[in-house]
């Protein structure tokens, strides 16, 4: 069977990928590599990279006649994924349509119960699941054989939605082959990273582990990958990096692990190899500051680390520890920022606005931290997003932030708040804070950091207005921004 897997037009909506450099989608490269090694005729189609129109996608499916069309999706770009699979069914009615990726894993039943043109949802780790699914579809009785494939939810011949058991996590992780990046036209992605003193250099994105041992209320990682961190062997990590250096002349690595320092001893050994072999590559990673030590950070920097990200999420200790369940102390955060500055690298703390039960006084603690850290850090913020399958989703329903009959398949639901142009098409969590207060937090961060063009975002926001309820929301944001600009000009801030 021929399996055609798409990244939908529009990509992943991240601000950093709006400037001509795209991050290749590792998930479907892993899947396609396993399929290819097992004799499946598989093609990856990065529609966002190739700038394909919907008509071109339909024509490709009509012309090349794949037996299966799959699409990968985050929650942010799920509607583009839905549209692509609808087009696939129209272009080739007999095709099997498969929906995969982070959103699919968390909202499988909801998707199939509301979208009739999707046949199968592949949940969580897709490598072995996809291979077994293809083998089942090749048989004379595919519906019976699909029932034997763990890790999928599918629509039976009579339309009944069947949710098969979850597939056990892949162990050891080295069972997964090194992803064959040629399958995604890696060079066309022009994936590069801006390195201080070097400019943009060719880069590789990779994961050395799956899972996160922590349990933040808003995060889907523990549900998708598990809380037990499974790690590639150091030899396997080095082999993939050296292959990237040889094949693509990469000079930087973006480690996409959820918690890169989950095993400090392993990380130290990895740094030692970078230093001993004189790789002369720079790298980026996300860490937990409650694990990080100064000697480890010194070794990380010596081995090429140039930019360090870590979550703080909230200034209030109550919100951070009791609501988010992030057991991080501000002293640890301040130490990480201080050490990073002493060692000449950029610290990148994350903050989130508008948590459950967070008061305006507690939110002020967050913005004061941001303003304190701004001269010494590159700070990232967002309004709290609600993702399917998370503890936060349950809280949002309990508190009425999301209605009980909400479905992730409805594009326009006036009962929830979204900012598609700025934050992706994901419900925002608004509880005790007013919209004016949330807007003030966003713009005070922006004024402190001078990172994002407000006017470019404003134009995108206007283009994405969906209902009359959006207009007063954007009007409030405009007047709050104007008020803060005037106060700053007068020296009142």
Closest CA to 274 of 208, 177, 215, 318: 208
Class of domain 191-489: alpha beta
| Same-fold call for 2-163 versus 191-489 | no
Q: Using pLDDT thresholds of 50, 70 and 90, give the confidence band for residue 491.
A: confident
Domain spanning 2-163: which CATH class is it, in words? Answer: alpha beta
178-228 tens-digit pLDDT: 999 999 999 999 999 999 999 999 999 999 999 999 999 999 888 888 889
Give 225's contacts (C-beta < 8 A, 6+ positions apart): 124, 125, 169, 210, 211, 212, 258
pLDDT at 227: 87
Residue 332's Cβ-side half-sphere holds a number of Cα atoms within 13 Å equal to: 16
Q: Which residues contact 94 (CB under 8 A, 6 or more apart)?
A: none
Using DSSP's 3-state secondary structure scheme, residue 21 falls into coil
| Per-residue model confidence as pLDDT tens digits over 217-266 | 999 888 888 889 999 999 999 999 999 999 999 999 999 999 999 999 99
Q: Residue 7 contacts by C-beta under 8 Å, 6 or more apart in sequence? A: 25, 28, 44, 45, 46, 47, 48, 49, 71, 72
Backbone torsions φ then ψ of 134, nearest 5 degrees:
-60, -45
Q: Residue ranges per domain, the chain?
A: 2-163, 191-489
Cβ(289)–Cβ(332) below 8 Å: yes
Share of the chain above pLDDT 70, in %: 93
Per-residue pLDDT reduced to its tens digit, 376-411: 999 999 999 999 999 999 999 999 999 999 999 998
Q: Is the pLDDT reported for residue 456 higher than 60?
A: no
């Amino acid at each position: 069977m021929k399996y055609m897997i798409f990244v939908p037009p529009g990509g992943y909506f991240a601000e950093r990928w709006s400037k001509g450099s795209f991050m290749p989608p590792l998930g479907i490269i892993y899947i396609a590599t396993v399929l290819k090694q097992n004799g499946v005729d598989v093609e990856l189609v990065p529609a966002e990279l190739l700038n394909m129109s919907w008509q071109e996608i339909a024509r490709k499916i009509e012309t090349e006649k794949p037996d299966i069309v799959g699409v990968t999706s985050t929650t942010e770009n799920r509607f583009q994924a839905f549209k692509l699979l609808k087009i696939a069914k129209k272009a080739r009615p007999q095709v099997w349509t498969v929906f995969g990726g982070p959103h699919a894993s968390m909202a499988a039943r909801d998707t199939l119960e509301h979208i009739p043109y999707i046949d199968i949802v592949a949940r969580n780790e897709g490598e072995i699941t996809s291979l077994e699914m293809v083998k089942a579809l090749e048989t004379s009785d595919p519906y019976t054989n699909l029932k034997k494939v763990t890790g999928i939810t599918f629509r039976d011949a009579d339309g009944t939605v069947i949710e098969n058991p979850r597939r056990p996590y892949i162990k050891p992780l080295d069972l997964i082959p090194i992803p064959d990046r040629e399958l995604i036209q890696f060079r066309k992605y022009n994936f590069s990273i801006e390195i201080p003193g070097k400019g943009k250099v060719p880069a590789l994105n990779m994961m050395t582990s799956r899972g996160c041992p922590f349990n933040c209320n808003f995060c889907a990682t523990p549900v998708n990958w598990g809380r037990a961190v499974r790690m590639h062997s150091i030899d396997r990590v080095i082999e993939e990096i050296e292959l990237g250096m040889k094949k693509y002349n990469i000079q930087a690595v973006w480690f996409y692990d959820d918690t890169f320092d989950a095993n400090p001893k392993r990380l130290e050994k990895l740094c030692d190899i970078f230093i001993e072999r004189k790789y002369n590559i720079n790298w980026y990673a996300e860490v937990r500051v409650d694990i990080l030590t100064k000697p480890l950070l010194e070794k990380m920097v010596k081995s090429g680390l140039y930019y360090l990200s870590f979550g703080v999420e909230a200034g209030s200790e109550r919100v951070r520890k009791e609501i988010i369940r992030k057991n991080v102390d501000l002293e640890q955060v301040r130490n990480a920022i201080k050490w990073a500055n002493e060692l000449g690298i950029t610290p990148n703390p994350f903050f989130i606005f508008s948590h459950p039960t967070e008061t305006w006084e507690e939110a002020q603690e967050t913005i004061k931290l941001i303003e304190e850290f701004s001269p010494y850090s590159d700070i990232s913020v967002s309004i709290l997003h609600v993702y399917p399958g998370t503890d936060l989703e349950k809280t949002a329903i309990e508190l009425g932030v999301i209605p009980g009959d909400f479905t992730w398949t409805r594009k326009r639901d006036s009962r929830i708040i979204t900012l598609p142009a700025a934050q992706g098409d994901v419900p925002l969590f608004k509880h005790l804070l007013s919209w004016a207060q949330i807007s003030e937090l966003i713009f005070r961060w922006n004024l402190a950091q001078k990172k994002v063009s407000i006017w470019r975002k404003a134009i995108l926001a206007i283009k994405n207005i969906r209902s009359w309820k959006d207009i007063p929301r954007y009007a409030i944001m405009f007047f709050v921004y104007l008020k803060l600009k005037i106060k700053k000009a007068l020296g009142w801030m």
